[in-house]
Structure 1
Amino acid sequence: MQKYTNSVAAATGMPVAGASVQVNTYPGGTPATIYSDNGLTVAANPLTTDTNGAFAFYAADGRYQLVISGTNIQTSTLNDVLLVDPLPSDLPTSLPGSSGQLWNNGGVISVS
């Protein structure tokens, strides 16, 4: 599960509040399941940008398409947005008993 954060701005650089951001699977183009936290609470899809034009969501590792639309903006599509967990899932999350072993130390790869 990864967090994706971005923002929408007009050509003038001003943030676009209230824009719609549809998160789809890629290349399928079907609405993706997204979350407002790390995989516990399903979020509405499409999302709406806040007053600063910002939006964020969590989704499973994979490829996504973002379709951004709204009043007075041209609809834009971002294809092949890749979300990948940088830490291998098989790393232990507690300090290994022997030295020289890799482990996930709170999101940082460490050596025991």
Structure 2
Amino acid sequence: MQKYIQTIADPTGAPVANASVQVNNWPAGTPATIYSDNGVTIAPNPLTTDTNGQFSFYAANGHYQFVISGANITTTTLNDILLVDLLPADLPTSLPSSAGQPWNNGGTLSVS
């Protein structure tokens, strides 16, 4: 499972609030199952950007397509967005006993 975070901005760089982002499976173009957490709670699809133009979701490793639309926005399709969880599934979540060992503190790879 991979968390994806992105910001939608207009050509001047200003964030676009309330844009719709449909997440589809690529290349099928069918709506993807996305989550609001690490694979437990299904999120609505399409998503809506917040006041900072940001949206986020979790999804299984794979290839996705984003269809971005909304008021005063030219609908844009982004194809073949690859999501890959680079952390191994068996990475321990408890603090390592010695320095220099990687560990997963719930989403951020840290080194102690």
* Partner in structure 2 of residue 93 of structure 1: 92
Query: 2-side partners of 1:8 and 1:42: how far apart?
Result: 22
1:41 aligns with 2:77: no
Alignment of 1:8-47 (within 5 A): 8-47=8-47
Contact 2:23 2:45 in 1 (8 A): yes
How far apart are residue 27 of structure 1 and its match? Answer: 0.5
Q: Quote the offset at 1:13 in angstroms.
A: 1.3
**CA–CA separation in structure 2 for the residues paired with 1:105 and 1:36:** 23
1:71 equivalent in structure 2: 71
What is residue 106 of structure 1 aligned with on the other side? 104
Cα gap change, 1:35 to 1:94, in 2 (>3 Å): closer
Q: CA RMSD in A?
A: 2.1
Contact residue 93 and residue 105 of structure 1 kept, 8 A: yes
Change beyond 3 A, Cα 1:72–1:92:
closer
Task: Structure 1 unaligned segments of length 5 or more: list them.
Answer: 96-102
TM-score normalised over the length of structure 1: 0.81
For the residues of structure 1 that align with 2:58 and 2:65, how far apart are their CA atoms? 14
Using the size of structure 2 for normalisation, the TM-score is 0.81
Q: Evaluate the alpha carbon distance shift between residue 72 and residue 109 of structure 1 in structure 2; reply closer, same or farther with a 3 A threshold.
A: closer
Structure 1 residues 93 and 104 mapped into 2: Cα distance closer, same or farther (>3 Å)? farther
Deviation at 1:88, TM superposition (A): 3.3
Q: What percentage of residue pairs aligned between the two structures are identical?
A: 63
- State the structure with more CA Rg: 1
Which one-letter code corresponds to 1:77 in the other structure?
T
Unaligned runs of 5+ in 2: 95-100
Give how far 1:94 is off: 7.6
**In structure 2, C-alpha distance between the alignment counterparts of 1:94 and 1:66, rounded to whole Å:** 32
